[in-house]
Chain A
């Protein structure tokens, strides 16, 4: 409704059967118009004033960008993972992973991970999460957060993420003692994401088949690093990687078996 002083915006509630218009917002009629057209995105407006021999167009200058809290719990030490192809993202916590919609941030689903019981004071919790390159698998690595930023890795859970954003537990592996010092950064095998993930520790690179729970060594470092690697980034086809710990940075070509100790 356009009046001399104000413009009132009403909306019909489509969900309600009554079709009673509800006042949504009001603005000053600073244009002095008698007619107003606003586009569907609320970005452009055309107004007409009585006696005017043309139209006046307006473009929205400001977006208010209101903030809304979707989750007020502490997320210290958690991981985030984006699934652009499925329009969602994930946030991990102690023993669960929440799936949120990308557009409205609403909680879509929650994955409760069946973690091992700890036999010490340090609780076993989710350390990191990773997805396969085709966005079909989710890997959840759990273990203990120890002092000095050291993680002790205990188990790996693999979930299938379906198109409808539901999930199915595919594999649950209690990792042997030799995996305690692998890096929290891990990736799905590019060639066999259906059954293998790749771990890296300070000695070398390991391919772990989570379906039959077997491990084979892909590469042994010529320059073993001093401590547990913190960050690992593979090239697209996983022929090269760069890894970093608090003391070392190493570049490795797995195919050509080349290494460059970058920090030296």
Chain B
């Protein structure tokens, strides 16, 4: 859930070129994304390059990185 009063903390990242389905965040640690026949798991990683640029005064040092995927159909229920 995005806190509208902290909108400056949001950032944009294109994590896939595919059309994705329902998306869930588990305990602010894991991003679950459902496609038609797969389930992707993303976690936040520290981007060293971005960290350097952040010191210069811009961008977010974290990015979502896919670490696991499962071949499943059906619906995700959290």
Contacts and interface: CB of A to CB of B under 8 A. Distances in A.
Please report whether the interface of chain B is mostly helix, strand, loop or mixed according to DSSP. Answer: strand
Given A19-B41, A20-B68, A1 B76 contact: yes
A12 B72 contact: no
A35 B29 contact: no
B75 A1 contact: yes
Contacts of A21: 41, 68, 70
A10 B49 CA distance: 35
B70 to A, nearest CB: 8
Given A19-B29, A19-B30, A20-B68, A2 B74 contact: yes
Contacts, number: 35
A225 B7 CA distance: 86
Contacts of B68: 19-21
A37 B29 CA distance: 21
Interface residues of B, number: 15
A35 B73 CA distance: 13
B30 A12 contact: yes
B74 A1 contact: yes
A21 B70 CA distance: 10
Interface string B27-48: 0011000000001010100000
Q: How large is the interface on A (under 10, 10 to 19, 20 to 34, 35 or more residues)?
A: 10 to 19
A12 B26 contact: yes
Contact of B72 (A3, A18, A20): A3
B1 interface: no
B15 interface: no
Contacts of B67: 18-19
Given A19-B68, A20-B41, A21-B68, 19 more contacts: A1-B39, A1-B72, A1-B74, A1-B75, A1-B76, A1-B77, A2-B74, A2-B76, A2-B77, A3-B72, A3-B73, A8-B72, A12-B26, A19-B29, A19-B30, A19-B67, A20-B68, A21-B41, A35-B77
Interface of B: 26, 29-30, 39, 41, 43, 67-68, 70, 72-77
Interface of A: 1-4, 8, 12, 18-21, 34-37
